[in-house]
Structure 1
């Protein structure tokens, strides 16, 4: 699998989505709206929920 984002970029993009929407983005929504972010998030983290938790916690 080829990734084109760093782990920091993934975390920052997820954090921005959380800020914009006021709640953690749902996997299904992100898969549809930003498949590239989803692919990179799942490369660095074992699940979408883990990626979101890491982004909120940082």
Structure 2
């Protein structure tokens, strides 16, 4: 499995989604599978990735 986003890029894209209000795991998986794959590579779950983005 090739991961095309860095962990910083994952956080940045999650923050962009937060401003639009669309962080639902199912909708992100459908609309941006690359982001979901990369997030799950760097973080144990989608929820962890979102929480990490909120802290930074």
Q: Compute the TM-score of the two structures, normalised by the length of structure 2.
A: 0.94
Runs (5+) with no aligned partner, structure 2: none
Report the alpha carbon displacement of residue 20 of structure 1 after superposing the two structures with TM. 1.6
Aligned CA-pair RMSD:
1.0
**Structure 1: which 4+ aligned runs deviate by more than 2 Å?**
none
**Number of residue-to-residue matches in the alignment:** 56
Runs (5+) with no aligned partner, structure 1: none
Q: Compute the TM-score of the two structures, normalised by the length of structure 1.
A: 0.91
